[in-house]
Structure 1
Amino acid sequence: MSKDKDKSLIKNTISYRIIKNHNYSGNSEDLNLKFDALVSPDNNYVSILQSLDAIGIKKFPIPYVLSNCHNSLGAVGGTNNEDDHMYGIDNAKKYGGIFIPPYKAILHQFMREEMAGCGKMILGSDSHTRYGALGTMGFGEGGGEIVKQVLGQTYEIKMPKIIAIKLTGKPKKGIGPMDLALTIIGKAKENNILKNNILEFIGDGIKSLSMDFRMGTDVMTTESGALSSIWKTDEKTREYLELHGREDEYKKLEIEEKAYYDGFIEINLYELESMMALPFHPSNVVSIKEFNKNPRKYLEKVQKDIDEIKEDNEFKLIDKLDENGFKIDQALISGCAGGIFENISQARDILKGFTIRANSPPLGIHPASQPVFQDMVKTGVASDLMDSGVTIRPTICGPCFGVTDVPSTNQISIRHVIRNFRGREGNKLSSGQIVGTILMDARSIAATIRNNGYIIAATDLDVEYEEINQSYNINYYKEQVLNCYRKENFEVNIRKGPNITDWPEIPELKNNLILKVIGNYKEVTTDDLSPSADAVTFRSNPLKLAEFTMINKDKNFVEKSKKIKDDENLKNILKEISEKYNINKNDIGINGVLVGNNVGDGSSREQAASSQKILGIDTNIAGTFATKRYRSNLINWGILPIISKEFNILEEGDVLFIENVYNIIENSEDDFEVKIINKGNSIISNLGSMTEDEKEILKSGCLINYNRRKYAKI
């Protein structure tokens, strides 16, 4: 790595070389990227296909995988989920897609097993689209970016910074990928240098890590705020691809003798501790060792967050603490992060000879794919786990976002999953239900279960971990996954269940805006804006889904938003502004605005933006937007992404006025005034850098409108 600060040496990084091969702008700073493949889960592919239908889809020009791992259970939402699956399979047949039936594989595991390869780039409409350990740069974005790729458009972005994560040494026994991931996430919280940047994993320590360890760490880089990730490849990478029948996808990826990085983090793997992330964010990290020294200290900190949610709640974390330690109620090892073979097999090693009794905290495991489950059966891992009282569950993403395995009110669940936001487990905060999830590695979860539910680090146990040569059935998906790529059949009649409704007509953005503040919130996550659990069954019905917006954060949010259009006071203000500024009334819009400190942390779900649009919210004003993908979702749904350091002076009910919006958009990097009508003052704001296409999308009202016009002209 270069120490002479020669920025031109960034060209020697792995990231730069891959990006260069996928950039069509001819400019190394303003990127126009095209991807090698696309992937979407069933909780958002319907809305993407609906958007493409509204624009006028022709075919899928590159491999597009439609996975059915999120909304798999017909029990949640009745037949809605299966109707969505029928809609997906018919679109795959008609336009040349790849359709994974329910329970076969979690989308990210399928992409690892069958699609990722060295030097590739894959775009997914799931925030945890990460295949860096296999030499593929994965980007998780909203559905609008998938739409653009299908239409032959590009992913436009400024060249991100590249941050080196140098790994040295070798981890101790009992340390797993979640321990490394949470360590990185903790460091990201400290210095914020990873946000919207690319992580490049280098260093001799990588050779000591199995591919499962690398992949389990890599998928969690999303929670660091990073845009994407890439790892140097080696013989273990080649062996993994060979095992999966794709050795020809292997290339050796490594930095040149000297390379420049915009930031640098070095981690000695031997110094890693068993980690945990307390509710309600993956960045609330502490080592299990430190937690057990003084659990009351850490629990009191989380209790403050709980008390903010519901002042009269009965969820007292301290009640779970006794002379033996902190006792949990439920445990799960699941999904794209936890349900990997090595995690499961080493959890088996810890639990050998132990039985989980009926009155003890239960442990459930969801394998990441059926081939992983097959390997568990072949090697005896599944049988051993069942002997210990572990229940093996279907291959679904359910526990990760509250569609299955919802704990009882006031319970604590420890999970090797990807996220632990409040309300994500499926409980309904609006109904007074509340639970908490602690993120932990599969090994420490198994150790805690063996310790009768009292939290303990896997490194505290003396366990012999069996080395198992993994196998893979390369024929498994050949007949069980529908691959219609380049075999489109335009005669297919697409079935559309009653819950699948078209996008409503979205009006153009008005050139002048009167905005009423719905609320000013400290933190707003995508789980707040478009909740998980039962709400996801309505993601194919935009109008019904919008009714859930912010329900766990502000019960009255939807009602307040709907009343804006009929607000007589706002109509009078419109008349006054029209006369004062000599503006035609028809050129002034009356809409809502959501205000917050840090807005959009979490998922790539575009519904966090589209539901706001349906409710008449044309603007977000934030101290900062948590991720690039949320800001892109706002733009693609015609919502102004305004940044202002003075956001905190805005209060619920304030009436704002923005004049000459089109000019503001055209000069997006210039500061402008947002007038506070009822207070007689203003705040200085900014839209930030935008591409020409993004400017036109905003003015058009949404990406659908923009593309309808574009292709009508063609």
Structure 2
Amino acid sequence: MIKCYDGGVYLVNGRELVEDHREASKAIAQKCGKEVKKEEAIRETIAYGILEAHNTSDNMDKLKIKFDAMASHDITYVGIIQTARASGLKEFPIPYVLTNCHNSLCAVGGTINEDDHMFGLSAAKKYGGIYVPAHQAVIHQYMREMMSGCGKMILGSDSHTRYGALGTMAIGEGGGELAKQLLCKTYDVNRPGVVAVYLTGKVQKGVGPQDVALAIIGKVFKNGYVKNKVMEFVGDGIANLGVEYRNGIDVMTTETTCLSSIWETDEKVEAYFEAHGRKEAYKELKPGKVAYYDGAILVDLSQIKPMIALPFHPSNTYTIEELNANLEDILASVEKQAKEQFTKVNFTLRDKIKNGKLLVQQGVIAGCAGGTFDNICDAADILKGHTIGANEYALSVYPSSQPTFMSLVENGAITSLMAAGATIRTAFCGPCFGAGDVPPNNGLSIRHSTRNFPNREGSKPSDGQLAAVALMDARSIAATSLNGGVLTAATDIDVTFTKPKYYFNSEIYKTRCYDGVGKPQPEEALKFGPNITDWPQMSYLTDHLVLQVVAEIHDAVTTTDELIPSGETSSYRSNPLKLAEFTLSRRVPDYVAKAKEIQKAETARLNGEDPTAVDERVKAAFEAIKGIKGFENIDPMTTGIGSTLFAVKPGDGSAREQAASCQKVLGGWANIAREYATKRYRSNLINWGMIPFVLEEELVFKEGDFLFIPNIKAAVQNKVATIEAYVIGEEIKCFNLMLADLTDDERQIILAGCLINYYKNE
């Protein structure tokens, strides 16, 4: 079904993979009539050409990218604009789209969600941006419809910023990186590796894009095959897929931890742009005659079966057929994981086995992955003339944009779904992050959405609640709905897919969306609600650091949802101090209290008071440090004091910068990890002045220990890669921390204490 090549691969004439080996050049010469050097073939990928066109440096190994456009939603744009405003923002230098698809239905916090929206509209007017009101479109559907273009690059403050199937290389990053673009700075990154995803064959009837995506994710996530690389989709199988189908696969590439994605383009993509009134956005993209890739994934589409990703990660994949044949054993393994991770909550799945079949409680088709026209039409065809029943099972459908919704109304798909018992909602991302359709306690929801991390559906284990999500394709969700919630693959039912034509009506956007690109109004006043606050002052890096380990997490991966929960916290994204109260609340409930306690010493130091006088533990730590040769006269008044956390692999998932900024607000100075799950989380740490340490040797400290990191300022300035640190306890232990691959600008940001301070210095 899916094969990953062990090493580099050449793609010859866009259709033949040749593994990189000693005789590869000869084999290629026989096929194309001349020898090709690897250095030349590297430059023949689609990705290389797009990166080169957007690179402002004279070094293709050290990229400095400027993007064509950007996008943010209402959880992130306030903080980004506030950061840029504090750093001298005058106007948006490129088209910047502000959508309102995350907080629009979240009622926590009274008026503050709509206050954020009014801030966004006023900012679009003042600085010259595009404002998409609530319920009009989810962020990525709007960008597909209105802003994508072949050969373009788009940056978004949402991790699922992916428009590769439309020939657009898009990257999801933390807000700091968008603020840099607003200030005419660059996105600095080492040139990423490129992995070919060769699609061949034709999918079976009933197999949808989520099935293909989950099969790929299950193959490559755990081994890191495409981590921080670009996935380049090529092959004869692409022609057998519609554009929305390609979009559905593409948006899920985020869950592989790749940096970005790009696809070959063809006449179907050209027709897509023409249908959206933007034919000029199309151009043909394909690899050169001989292109070299750092790896290749061969996907035989004809062998893909309906898939399910069980809780609690999109990579926890099985075919539905395999799961139904081994329900007891497979579900028991998920229960075991839940018991290990949520010790105070009893979560069960095997109790949902009825007469040898799995009965789920809820189905949801939503967002940038599930809510597309093709997905909903196929689901409607499956359910037409049937009902989901009057029992526990419920089905919700969220079209991804108002134009999509209108076309579904006109062709009767919405009527079929409503008659079957489904409820139809407006464009909203809530089901992807826990702000809509929260299932019952101990419930299992099947969703065509992007993620199924713990609590992503909105439950609160700290309050004794735990539900879970399994990811599936819309077609199999509809087939399951047809059977009243009994897990069913779409390939197991008899259905005729009508495949109606999509008609895009741009008048909806012209009527409701504000477009001020190139027309800033400096005199326009920003509208601030009472919850919108400026960032607190951030400390500059000191010569030395004394840090308490306030959290120690040994999970294989720690998601950003665990670092700062989604769902009910989203209303407070514009208030750094209030939001920080939720830091690690679902994973380490006492983190905030412990971080605040040690922060008191730093607050005293910054106020000119003796920090050792407010905390006996800090006093004892400094007394012990004086016993280390060379630090007999260490001065607590010039030494940063705060918190740190250890996690094996933090930062998988969302691009939200608050996963890092909340730690900083609470006095965090660093993370210590075996590795970082994504580049974007590591970038978020750096942009908030936190040091992304890597620990390669044995763990010698534990939660509650104090760490002394001497001469850290000099180490950052002088590009020292290995830093000697100490555990301060009954005995002093020496160990090494690694600090590598920082750009010059990143070093300056860390020294300044955060991106805002860095720009103030400039």
TM bucket (normalised to shorter chain) is over 0.9
Q: CA deviation at 1:50?
A: 1.1
> Residue type matched to 1:453 in 2?
G
Instruction: Give matches, 1:484-563, under 5 Å.
Output: 484-523=516-555, 524-563=558-597
In the other structure, the counterpart of 1:655 is: 706
Instruction: Give matches, 1:67-82, under 5 Å.
Output: 67-73=99-105, 75-82=107-114
In the other structure, the counterpart of 1:290 is: 322
Instruction: Give matches, 1:315-334, under 5 Å.
Output: 315-334=347-366
> Residue type matched to 1:568 in 2?
E
Q: CA deviation at 1:457?
A: 1.0
| Contact 2:389 2:484 (C-alpha < 8 Å) held by counterparts | no
| Contact 2:479 2:489 (C-alpha < 8 Å) held by counterparts | yes
| Contact 1:595 1:647 (C-alpha < 8 Å) held by counterparts | no
In the other structure, the counterpart of 2:617 is: 569
User: Matched residue of 2:675: which SS?
Assistant: strand
> Residue type matched to 1:586 in 2?
M
In the other structure, the counterpart of 2:219 is: 187
| Contact 1:509 1:701 (C-alpha < 8 Å) held by counterparts | yes
In the other structure, the counterpart of 1:607 is: 658
Which has the larger displacement, 648-657 or 226-235?
648-657
In the other structure, the counterpart of 2:394 is: 362
In the other structure, the counterpart of 2:81 is: 49
Partner Cα distance (1:681, 1:323) in 2: 59
Instruction: Give matches, 1:265-284, under 5 Å.
Output: 265-284=297-316
- Whether 1:707 and 2:720 are equivalent positions in the alignment is no
Q: CA deviation at 1:96?
A: 0.5
- Whether 1:397 and 2:425 are equivalent positions in the alignment is no
Instruction: Deviation per CA, 1:654-709: give whole Å up to 9, x if none.
Output: 11111111232235462222211214223322122011000000000000000011
| Contact 2:749 2:758 (C-alpha < 8 Å) held by counterparts | yes
TM-score (norm 2): 0.92
In the other structure, the counterpart of 2:482 is: 450
Q: CA deviation at 1:317?
A: 1.1
| Contact 2:388 2:483 (C-alpha < 8 Å) held by counterparts | no
> Residue type matched to 1:22 in 2?
H
Partner Cα distance (1:305, 1:354) in 2: 37
Instruction: Deviation per CA, 1:212-232: give whole Å up to 9, x if none.
Output: 100011000000010000000
> Residue type matched to 2:745 in 1?
D
User: Matched residue of 2:428: which SS?
Assistant: coil
Which has the larger displacement, 331-340 or 668-677?
668-677
In the other structure, the counterpart of 1:247 is: 279
Change (3 A) 1:670 1:97: same
| Contact 2:561 2:654 (C-alpha < 8 Å) held by counterparts | yes
In the other structure, the counterpart of 1:406 is: 438
Residue number among 620, 624, 627 corresponding to 2:678 in the alignment: 627
Q: CA deviation at 1:380?
A: 0.7
Residue number among 233, 240, 244 corresponding to 1:212 in the alignment: 244
Instruction: Give matches, 1:669-684, under 5 Å.
Output: 670-678=721-729, 679-684=731-736
> Residue type matched to 1:132 in 2?
G
User: Matched residue of 1:543: which SS?
Assistant: helix
- Whether 1:222 and 2:224 are equivalent positions in the alignment is no
Q: CA deviation at 1:586?
A: 2.6
Partner Cα distance (1:384, 1:10) in 2: 50
In the other structure, the counterpart of 2:746 is: 694
> Residue type matched to 1:693 in 2?
D
| Contact 1:76 1:403 (C-alpha < 8 Å) held by counterparts | no
In the other structure, the counterpart of 2:608 is: none
| Contact 2:106 2:435 (C-alpha < 8 Å) held by counterparts | no
| Contact 1:623 1:647 (C-alpha < 8 Å) held by counterparts | no
Partner Cα distance (1:458, 1:506) in 2: 54
> Residue type matched to 1:61 in 2?
P
User: Matched residue of 1:39: which SS?
Assistant: strand
In the other structure, the counterpart of 2:380 is: 348
Instruction: Deviation per CA, 1:65-116: give whole Å up to 9, x if none.
Output: 0010000026232101000001111111111011000000001000000000
Q: CA deviation at 1:190?
A: 4.8
Partner Cα distance (1:173, 1:247) in 2: 31
| Contact 1:657 1:675 (C-alpha < 8 Å) held by counterparts | yes
User: Matched residue of 2:505: which SS?
Assistant: coil
> Residue type matched to 1:54 in 2?
A
User: Matched residue of 1:259: which SS?
Assistant: strand
Instruction: Deviation per CA, 1:627-680: give whole Å up to 9, x if none.
Output: 000000000000110011236443111111111112322354622222112142
> Residue type matched to 2:621 in 1?
I
Partner Cα distance (2:388, 2:55) in 1: 53
> Residue type matched to 2:577 in 1?
L
Q: CA deviation at 1:371?
A: 0.3
> Residue type matched to 2:683 in 1?
S
In the other structure, the counterpart of 1:308 is: 340
> Residue type matched to 1:633 in 2?
N
Change (3 A) 1:548 1:190: closer
Q: Which runs of 5+ in 2 are unaligned?
A: 1-10, 13-17, 19-23, 26-37, 602-613
Partner Cα distance (2:237, 2:462) in 1: 46
| Contact 1:168 1:268 (C-alpha < 8 Å) held by counterparts | yes
Partner Cα distance (1:255, 1:669) in 2: 40
> Residue type matched to 2:63 in 1?
L
| Contact 2:724 2:735 (C-alpha < 8 Å) held by counterparts | yes
Q: Which runs of 5+ in 1 are unaligned?
A: none
Which has the larger displacement, 565-574 or 680-689?
565-574
Instruction: Give matches, 1:92-107, under 5 Å.
Output: 92-107=124-139
Change (3 A) 1:30 1:477: same
Identity of aligned residues (%): 49
User: Matched residue of 1:376: which SS?
Assistant: helix
Q: CA deviation at 1:203?
A: 0.1
Partner Cα distance (1:475, 1:682) in 2: 66
> Residue type matched to 2:81 in 1?
L
In the other structure, the counterpart of 2:607 is: none
Which has the larger displacement, 249-258 or 477-486?
477-486
User: Matched residue of 1:260: which SS?
Assistant: strand
Partner Cα distance (2:319, 2:488) in 1: 10
Q: CA deviation at 1:327?
A: 0.7
In the other structure, the counterpart of 2:640 is: 589
Residue number among 39, 43, 51 corresponding to 1:19 in the alignment: 51
Q: CA deviation at 1:245?
A: 0.3
TM-align CA RMSD: 1.3
Partner Cα distance (2:757, 2:409) in 1: 51
> Residue type matched to 1:595 in 2?
F
| Contact 2:700 2:727 (C-alpha < 8 Å) held by counterparts | no
| Contact 1:597 1:647 (C-alpha < 8 Å) held by counterparts | no
Q: CA deviation at 1:517?
A: 0.7
Q: CA deviation at 1:310?
A: 3.1
Q: CA deviation at 1:550?
A: 0.5
| Contact 2:196 2:295 (C-alpha < 8 Å) held by counterparts | yes
Change (3 A) 1:550 1:190: closer
